[in-house]
Chains A and B, each alone.
Chain A
Amino acid sequence: MIHPADLRARAEALTGPLPPLLAAAEHLATTVLLGEHGRRRPGLGDEFWQYRPARPGDEHRMVDWRRSARSDAHYVREKEWQAAQSVVIWPDNAQAMRFASSKDLPTKALSARIIALATAVLLIRGGERVGLTDLELPPRSGPLQLLRLAEALSREDEALDYGAPETRGMPAHSRAVFLSDFLGDIAPVEHALTRAADKGVKGAILQILDPQEEAFPFDGRTIFESVGGTLSHETRKARDLRDRYLDRLAARKDVLQSLARTTGWQYHCHHTDRPGTAALLWLYQALERIH
């Protein structure tokens, strides 16, 4: 059990070096709450957009006298229309994620949670609304939401051996981030992504793997077991399996990548022995890249 405060502190530390994340806003018809996303058109907001000549019908108080004094005409100061965006996160909570090959490495689940919360910190700092994909925690903004997120992410629930993404709490045209090892059955992932595409939701898939899963450094007679103990496989010469295993792993990554491509998502693979900053930076750019 990770203490929420600790989890949040580590996530905040991870976000330190990055500027507030401003996810690109596309056509968000439904999410009209004011936020800090410029809509590239005049509207309600805080940021200066343009001066336009005053037209009949403009109130006097709307005239920018300072600008007008420099010329003969009257000008009105317009501001940019700003809107906030909803981002939902799915950190895989399955038992398979609770694995670390060495004591020095974090478990995959911990990596996923820290990166997830760090992303949330950045997003909330940027004025976005962040939530989880299950209905428990709908997207909201503000620092209080961060606390709720940290609380929810720190929970260690009973879980299946391998997880499947939840899409119920995903508002239409929002953004989503899936963090998982994607080692279980691929069909639910495929289903979730197509449903998300149907709803106009775009986002990023971050596959988190342990270095041992990437390298398969085994030899000799071995019985491999899943963390939940539901699956097992025995081999007499583990080294011989290595090449075929790596082929299968590459194939799995390919499937995820092509799925992402067809649904307009982004895919990235993160290893738990690498610093989380790289993954966070990629997420930051991935959420900006979506237009």
Chain B
Amino acid sequence: MLVLGPIGFTAPWLLLGLVLLPVLWILLRAVPPAPIRRLFPAVTLLLGLEDEESETDKTPWWLLLLRTLAIAAVILGFAGPILNPDSREDFGSGPLLVLLDGTWADARDWPRRLDRVEALLDEAARAGRPVAVATLTDPAPGAPQFQPAESWSARLPNLEPKPWSPDDAAVSAWLDGLGNDGFETFWMSDGLAQPWRATLLAGLESRGEVRVFESPRPIAVLRPARFDAGTLILSGARAAPGEATEFTVAAHGLDPAGTPRVLARIPLRFDQGATEAETEVSLPPELRNRITRFAIEGTRSAGAVSLADDTLRRREVALVASRDDREGLELLSPTHYLEQALEPTADLIEGSFDDILLANPDALILADVATLSPAEQAALLDWVEKGGLLVRFAGPRLAASDVSRDVEDPLMPVRLRAGGRSVGGAMSWGEPKALRPFGPDSPFFGLDVPGEVTISAQLMAQPDPQLSERTIASLADGTPLVTRKRIEDGQVVLFHTTANAEWSSLPLSGLFVQMLERLAISTRPTLPTLEEMAGTTWTPNQILTAFGDIEDAGVFPGVPGEDLVDATPGPDLLPGLYAGEDRRIALNVIGADTAITAASWPARIPVEGLAVQRETPLKGACLTAALIALMIDVIASLWIAGRLFGPRSGAAAILLTLAFAMPAPPAAAQDSDDAFALAATHEVVLAHVVTGDDRLDALAQAGLLGLSEILFERTSVEPSDPIAVDLETDELAFFPILYWPVSPEQPIPSDQAYAKLNTYLRSGGMIVFDTRDADVARYGTSTPAGRRLQQLAASLDIPPLEPVPEDHVLTRTFYLLKDFPGRFISPDVWVEAAPADAERVEGMPFRNLNDNVTPVVVGGNDWASAWAIDDAGRPMYPVGRGFAGERQREIAYRFGVNLIMHVLTGNYKSDQVHVPALLDRLGQ
């Protein structure tokens, strides 16, 4: 190898080719560019003109230089130039063991470690030494397999750090298996002190020389977040004390839309010389409940990630009581004691059933609620089946009702006897009953039963076969006090007494709080103990990789609960999130008291950094430069010859484009969804539902087109052309109104389509159903279209309807209307019913009606036919006869205008009834 300064050549003889360059110069210089032949009638005018310069028939000097340089670069490239050639002759000899710790602490600069190993392998390959590569976290059993370095190079990318540290036993087992042959060792240490390091070092030194590599980057880790007196404490540690440093800890979690994002960034500051840091995190409870993990930003290591589990969560509990008419008696309120018991440890939700189930609480408590509507019952059952916990308390209403009397109610654990019983009251013999100690099968097992807790009234259960297995707490006489039934993933628990102190003193005692806690209604503040965990099985939900990434656990087997108590992660117990029966536990790489200390090495061991000067072959760069120079030469030559621009340059330009066409990524196909969304949103657009009947769809399209034209002419609403909407595929949210002509043949939409429609209706959309049969039928099920409408609308979330009342806002949003004709005149047009308590205030022309846009308008007047126009703007269908018919068409258009105005402006016109009052107030 020839070495010139920092560059060496592997084939220096090729450099002799550079001598030929001057010859090439002269040769190229002698060849002028070829002429172009052109037809040109005005050549007569050119005859006799002489060229001014005689030099231009030679190639210009700069083009020659470019070509010469290109050739020179080719010669240099093939001569094999290498930057920083390694001219060391001595690469050592004998077998070489490259040992990596392979722990989570290695992960932060794993690629650089692999680079260093690759450099070692290159050296070994040049010296012909056999090499073995081993990681301590994932050691191959037996003595290391020494193989040629090349075979290891291909396997390097397979090496991966593991999210745990090897333990003593594993390391000494591996050391024992090493055999007695001597070898040299390069030890890539992760830089943390470990109890087994000294032993391993001694063992390796006995077999040969040991060199140690360590990354100079400091190690910082995050300990699990914990609650201390109500505040969330985040703490971190670093291996070596040093300068004051500030890290940013990101709190990851799901936002309300379910998208993973960083919910908060918290600064974590290490003071100078300190190895531990702590900071308080103040976050709103909703935000805190959503946190799934903390991670130090900018560090890719499992040590810098701390998974959050249920200990950080406050459970959401919804309370629903029967309607309470007794105002002011706070202590008698069915939920008072529940609120007192749950407030410190859980977030309480109150509201209507729909709202509560949308909030998806962890537990729902029904205090003396007897009857539920079928829809509520179905929704509740669905929620329970998906893992909800429903807790019901008895009370006078439940006792008086027939719920679960003859047949077991799906939302009741047992059948109940009528009336209940009273013990120890003023009108009964006997004493109030105490509780029997809890049996071992009960979730309350182990709780002390205070003697003062007595029950004076309870609901009795029918003696069914499953009663005993469903009873989890009973009175001293054996009658059940708490029963439980599992429904798929969820459960229903019934307390056979009240949640207030009317029937028992249980809510007054501490036992009540503990029972709620055991039922996982309230949050358990501490980690479970060994006894609690015994015999349970926990399945991993998410697994933490050494790089700090979260992966789905997939098919990892469950682990026994005992292992999770005070556990450190290892090959059998991956760090991650484990789910048990009713809670989740996070197993982090770094525990609350994992020691983090920098490794210390004896003075005799040389410790090197990761940096190494690598050889860089320049062959590729040289050849690329030559290629680029030749490309420039192509352009320059064309330019010199006058073929780049001007006439007849087409072919050259095409060639150039081809030559320089970069492998551009294929233009992303225009997303049709985006196009649809743009078309639907850049203007107000009316839409109709595609019914599958081409003629009907065309009619609806023409009708909406006519209405759009009228709106454009008469109002400030300027819609663009109407759009046909396919319920199955298109997004509905863009449209203020959907016109849905009903035909008897229309197929029923799919469940997904109905889900979309219901979302659309709930979020303020309006559907106009038109059965188009008002000429033959009054609104109802008497026609095929009417029957079809009933089937279509059965799954829709439609409120109670009523015929349009005289003072409905539809009658005056733009025009004052009395009736709503289309091609037919029928008074039967139905809209959302006004609330029952809407009353006409004295002096007001209209009632103060509901504050919404009616989600549906149902009628049969065939409005689209009355609105429809053809391409020339003429009406497509006759309406009525003569002038009266045209008047009817006009009123139909007016109804359409009112309808669109109602959709777009809501009850704005309804609010105008307040104008006199407002003016009056302004006047003062």
Not counting A223-B36, A226-B44, a sample of 20 additional A-B residue pairs whose C-beta atoms are within 8 angstroms of each other reads: A101-B647, A181-B41, A181-B42, A183-B45, A212-B40, A213-B40, A218-B646, A220-B33, A221-B57, A221-B642, A222-B642, A223-B37, A224-B40, A225-B40, A231-B47, A233-B46, A233-B47, A236-B32, A236-B51, A237-B51
Cβ–Cβ contact B646 & A219, under 8 A = yes
Contact among B33, B43, B642 with A225 in the assembled complex (CB-CB below 8 Å): B43
| A240 CA to B39 CA, complexed, in Å | 19
**Proximity string of chain A (64-88) to chain B, C-beta cutoff 8 Å, 1 when within and 0 when not:** 0000000000000000000000000
- Residues of chain B at interface, number, CB under 8 A: 30
Give the residue name and chain of the B residue nearest to A100 (CB).
B39
- Asked if B518 is at the interface of the complex by the 8 Å CB criterion, the answer is no
Cβ–Cβ contact A225 & B39, under 8 A = yes
Least CB distance from B407 to A in Å reads: 89
| A253 CA to B11 CA, complexed, in Å | 69
Cβ–Cβ contact B647 & A212, under 8 A = yes
Give the residue name and chain of the A residue nearest to B52 (CB).
A240
Least CB distance from B12 to A in Å reads: 42
**Proximity string of chain A (224-258) to chain B, C-beta cutoff 8 Å, 1 when within and 0 when not:** 11110001111111111100110011001000000
Cβ–Cβ contact A245 & B49, under 8 A = yes
Least CB distance from B47 to A in Å reads: 6
A236-B56, A237-B51, A240-B53 known; A219 vs B44 contact (CB < 8 Å): no
Cβ–Cβ contact B36 & A248, under 8 A = no
Cβ–Cβ contact A252 & B45, under 8 A = yes
Contact among A181, A184, A225, A231 with B38 in the assembled complex (CB-CB below 8 Å): A225
Residues of B within 8 Å of A185, CB to CB, are: 44
Cβ–Cβ contact B646 & A213, under 8 A = no
Least CB distance from A182 to B in Å reads: 10
- Asked if A210 is at the interface of the complex by the 8 Å CB criterion, the answer is yes
Least CB distance from A181 to B in Å reads: 6
Instruction: Give me 25 A-to-B residue pairs in the complex whose CB atoms sit less than 8 angstroms apart, sorted by A's number.
Output: A99-B41, A101-B647, A183-B41, A183-B45, A210-B41, A218-B642, A219-B646, A220-B35, A220-B641, A221-B34, A221-B642, A222-B38, A224-B38, A225-B40, A226-B39, A234-B35, A235-B46, A235-B49, A236-B35, A236-B51, A236-B53, A236-B57, A237-B53, A245-B45, A245-B46
Cβ–Cβ contact A224 & B43, under 8 A = yes
Cβ–Cβ contact A221 & B40, under 8 A = no
| A244 CA to B51 CA, complexed, in Å | 11
Cβ–Cβ contact A224 & B46, under 8 A = yes
Least CB distance from A220 to B in Å reads: 3
Residues of B within 8 Å of A221, CB to CB, are: 32-36, 56-57, 641-642
Least CB distance from B835 to A in Å reads: 73
Give the residue name and chain of the B residue nearest to A219 (CB).
B642
Give the residue name and chain of the A residue nearest to B51 (CB).
A236
Top 3 nearest A-B pairs (CB, nearest first) are: A220-B642, A219-B642, A96-B41
Least CB distance from B643 to A in Å reads: 7
- Asked if A162 is at the interface of the complex by the 8 Å CB criterion, the answer is yes
Least CB distance from B774 to A in Å reads: 57
Cβ–Cβ contact A241 & B46, under 8 A = yes
- Asked if A17 is at the interface of the complex by the 8 Å CB criterion, the answer is no
Cβ–Cβ contact B646 & A99, under 8 A = no
| A239 CA to B34 CA, complexed, in Å | 16
- Asked if A217 is at the interface of the complex by the 8 Å CB criterion, the answer is yes
Interface residues of B (CB under 8 A from A): 32-47, 49, 51-54, 56-57, 640-643, 645-647
Least CB distance from A184 to B in Å reads: 6
Least CB distance from A188 to B in Å reads: 13
Cβ–Cβ contact B43 & A232, under 8 A = yes
Give the residue name and chain of the B residue nearest to A239 (CB).
B642
Contact among B42, B51, B643, B646 with A235 in the assembled complex (CB-CB below 8 Å): B51
Cβ–Cβ contact A99 & B39, under 8 A = yes
Give the residue name and chain of the B residue nearest to A185 (CB).
B44
Cβ–Cβ contact A240 & B36, under 8 A = no
Cβ–Cβ contact A183 & B642, under 8 A = no
Residues of A within 8 Å of B645, CB to CB, are: 219
Cβ–Cβ contact A220 & B46, under 8 A = no
Least CB distance from B437 to A in Å reads: 103
Least CB distance from A191 to B in Å reads: 18
Residues of B within 8 Å of A248, CB to CB, are: 45-46
| A223 CA to B43 CA, complexed, in Å | 10
| A146 CA to B56 CA, complexed, in Å | 55
Contact among A213, A234, A237, A239 with B42 in the assembled complex (CB-CB below 8 Å): A213
Cβ–Cβ contact A223 & B38, under 8 A = yes
Contact among A183, A217, A245 with B647 in the assembled complex (CB-CB below 8 Å): A217
Residues of B within 8 Å of A233, CB to CB, are: 43, 46-47, 49
Residues of B within 8 Å of A245, CB to CB, are: 42, 45-46, 49
Give the one of B33, B46, B51, B642 with max A CB within 10 A: B46
Cβ–Cβ contact A222 & B35, under 8 A = yes
Residues of A within 8 Å of B35, CB to CB, are: 220-223, 234, 236
Residues of B within 8 Å of A240, CB to CB, are: 51-53
Least CB distance from B57 to A in Å reads: 5
Residues of B within 8 Å of A218, CB to CB, are: 38, 642, 646-647
Residues of A within 8 Å of B40, CB to CB, are: 212-213, 224-226
| A189 CA to B377 CA, complexed, in Å | 107
| A212 CA to B40 CA, complexed, in Å | 9
| A102 CA to B54 CA, complexed, in Å | 31
Residues of B within 8 Å of A212, CB to CB, are: 40, 647
Residues of A within 8 Å of B47, CB to CB, are: 231, 233
| A236 CA to B53 CA, complexed, in Å | 9
Cβ–Cβ contact B643 & A220, under 8 A = yes
Residues of A within 8 Å of B33, CB to CB, are: 220-221
Give the residue name and chain of the B residue nearest to A232 (CB).
B43
Contact among B44, B49, B641 with A183 in the assembled complex (CB-CB below 8 Å): B44
Give the residue name and chain of the B residue nearest to A247 (CB).
B45
| A184 CA to B53 CA, complexed, in Å | 28
| A244 CA to B42 CA, complexed, in Å | 13
Residues of B within 8 Å of A184, CB to CB, are: 44
Cβ–Cβ contact B51 & A220, under 8 A = no
| A217 CA to B646 CA, complexed, in Å | 6
Residues of B within 8 Å of A249, CB to CB, are: 42, 45
Give the one of B33, B44, B641 with max A CB within 10 A: B44
Give the one of A99, A184, A219, A222 with max B CB within 10 A: A219
Give the residue name and chain of the A residue nearest to B37 (CB).
A223
Cβ–Cβ contact A227 & B39, under 8 A = yes
A219-B646, A220-B643, A226-B40 known; A237 vs B49 contact (CB < 8 Å): no
Interface residues in A7-58 (C-beta closer than 8 Å to B) = none
Contact among B43, B56, B641 with A231 in the assembled complex (CB-CB below 8 Å): B43
Least CB distance from A240 to B in Å reads: 5
Residues of B within 8 Å of A231, CB to CB, are: 43-44, 47
| A252 CA to B39 CA, complexed, in Å | 20
| A93 CA to B71 CA, complexed, in Å | 55
| A213 CA to B32 CA, complexed, in Å | 27
Give the residue name and chain of the A residue nearest to B642 (CB).
A220
Give the residue name and chain of the A residue nearest to B646 (CB).
A217
Least CB distance from B310 to A in Å reads: 77
| A225 CA to B37 CA, complexed, in Å | 7
Contact among A99, A234, A238 with B642 in the assembled complex (CB-CB below 8 Å): A238
| A238 CA to B643 CA, complexed, in Å | 12
Cβ–Cβ contact A244 & B49, under 8 A = yes
| A240 CA to B56 CA, complexed, in Å | 11
Residues of B within 8 Å of A252, CB to CB, are: 45
| A241 CA to B39 CA, complexed, in Å | 16
Give the residue name and chain of the A residue nearest to B54 (CB).
A236
Give the one of B36, B37, B45 with max A CB within 10 A: B45
Cβ–Cβ contact A241 & B49, under 8 A = yes
